[in-house]
Amino acid sequence: MLKNRLLLAGIILVLVFSLISGCNESKTIKIGTIQPISGQVSAYGIQTRDAIAMAIEEINANGGVLGKKLELIVEDDEASPEKTTNAFKKLTAKDKVVAIIGALTSKCTLAITKEAQAKKVVLITSSSTNDTVTDAGEFIFRACYNDSFQGQVNAKFAYETLKARRAAILYDITNDYSKGLMSNFKAKFEELGGQIVAIESYSTGDKDFNAQLTKIKASQPEVLFIPDYYSTISLIAKQVRGQGMTIPMMGGDGWDEITNNAGDEVIGCYYSNHYSPDSDDEDVKAFVTKFREKYNITPNALAALGYDAAYILADAIEKAGSLDPVKIQQAMMETDKKMVTGYIRFNEKRNPVKSAVMLKVVKGADGKLTTEYAGTVNP
């Protein structure tokens, strides 16, 4: 009799625990994203967040992933590495996300890659281009090309298309993104036969660049490469023209949004980017139309990258057939798909092999600044 009672009690306990486990099982698949929703580059963070959200809404409307809806949890890091680290800890420890899209800037992503690798958290940054971002290990991916390629694209365009033979560089010595682009532009331009006649630096937060620009002007460059984000470029460009320099300025994808933050001083300048919203590509046109209808604004390149990153991750989870990070990582490596920012597949360093476009800042028929396609550079 006692034996039967113990057996019955055991069965009841198993049923209770099964019910508890079933109740605790998440009804959604949680995806985290860390973006600068506020701060100096919030124009990037807001659009990236919105594009990721739009992608997830589309995925959920089409049945979700593994029979479940995706749930997006957004954290604002204000482009601060310390806040990025805190956001990562919250998303992984409290929210129990399956994977993370982020961070946005290179310095912020670099603050969490080692911990993501150690914890086997699949991390895909949509826009951190610093070469070392994926060095932490096999769980770290990116949807954008890296600085080595981007710096070379600018150098090649300056030398071959603009026919420049003398270039100057002004960069942020405290910013990994800016330093990476600077070194790669310099190396490629010199390899092509060009001469770097001046290299000047400043620190994040500086407002006055006239001392550096005076030295640059004296070196008589034919082009000025300034690898930084739009908020700083808008300040520098005014001072460049104020010094009487009329040469074209160039930069990387951090220039995106410059047409909404600067004036006529940037007309005739060029920058590399991940896509052009004016492209005739059907995937691009569909994305731009949907984004404009939903948010009443033309999506910048980082929005397009965020959108692609969300689909890359969702496709990998579906293909993995599991929430096991090892299986998701393996499925990510099998990515081979045409997307908004190009045809994407990953190399052994989990960097996408894709092309870059060069855009020229011009004044549109409505008198507002806009960009026009200036060329494509393939890997």
Query: What SS3 state is found at 46?
Result: helix
Section 178-191 average pLDDT: 96
pLDDT at 66: 98
For residue range 279-332, list pLDDT tens digits in order: 888 999 999 999 999 999 999 999 999 999 999 999 999 999 999 999 999 999
For residue range 217-265, list pLDDT tens digits in order: 999 999 999 999 999 999 999 999 999 999 999 999 999 999 999 999 9
Inter-axis angle of helices 147-156 and 176-192, nearest 10: 40
pLDDT at 329: 98
Section 96-109 average pLDDT: 97
| Whole-structure pTM value | 0.83
CATH superfamily of 148-273+358-377: Response regulator (3.40.50.2300)
- For residues 68 and 284, what is the distance between their CA atoms, to the nearest angstrom? 28
Taking CA atoms, 98 is separated from 32, 81, 92, 93, 312, in Å, by: 8, 22, 8, 11, 14
Task: Decide: residue 82, CB within 10 A, 0-12 exposed, 13-18 middle, 19+ buried.
Answer: exposed
pLDDT at 25: 60
Per-position DSSP letters for 271-297, written without gaps between them = EEES--TT---HHHHHHHHHHHHHHSS
pLDDT at 176: 87
Among 204, 188, 198, which Cα is nearest to 243's? 198
pLDDT at 353: 86
Instruction: State yes or no: pLDDT of 354 exceeds 90.
Output: no
Instruction: State yes or no: pLDDT of 355 exceeds 90.
Output: no
pLDDT at 5: 54
Topology (CATH level 3) of domain 28-145+280-346 = Rossmann fold (3.40.50)
Residues of the chain with CATH 3.40.50.2300: 28-145+280-346, 148-273+358-377
For residue range 189-200, list pLDDT tens digits in order: 999 999 999 999
Task: Decide: residue 91, CB within 10 A, 0-12 exposed, 13-18 middle, 19+ buried.
Answer: buried
The token duo for 271 is 């920058």
pLDDT at 99: 98
